[in-house]
Structure 1
């Protein structure tokens, strides 16, 4: 038993005296700290990048009145104008999108989304779950 303790002590001391062990003692915690800071910076910048987007809903069917609920960065308004004038408004402004729902919305590819920015599919998934 005494010889085993001596062998363990010797092996431990030879490993601890290596340059790589001493460097890793300081580098690994530093890398963990840097990665935590980078993750926090990315999370903060993603919140700033996602500004408020207004979605004008043109519901010709009338079935979706007050079905869309505002999310963190998305506000739904119900437009009383036609699609052509709403598209002109879309060209003039940056943070507006148009969701057009025709009377025959059950047909394939009849619902249309017009936007200059990212797609609004996550917001539409919320509607399906309700």
Structure 2
């Protein structure tokens, strides 16, 4: 998961620099919300009908779509999150509003760019996985 957090933060900073800075200021790291989102495929935090659409896209597009969804959620609620402190952000991201509309989320996702310095998600993710292997000597972190 460390490589996913590192890659996610790169795209988070590039797509939403003000919110990224706000999260840093509040010491809010991706492990506090992203693990729950990814491990449950958003079924715990999104309304079920929206989560089902996210699952469809995941089946079609693969793991990148899960991270695009996360960034889409952050983009959709950027203004609200900018007004919150650590505890309120963490609570909000754990259980998103029930009235979240799939169309609004997918529109926010469409405005999320998954290319960093001419590298796509898989390339950025793999590059961070290789760095972890170099640091730890453990290929287990690559999976």
Fold-level similarity (TM above 0.5): no
TM-score, L = length of structure 1: 0.19
Please state which structure has a larger fraction of its residues in helix: 2
Please state which structure has a larger fraction of its residues in strand: 1
Higher relative contact order (CA 8 A, sep 6+): 2
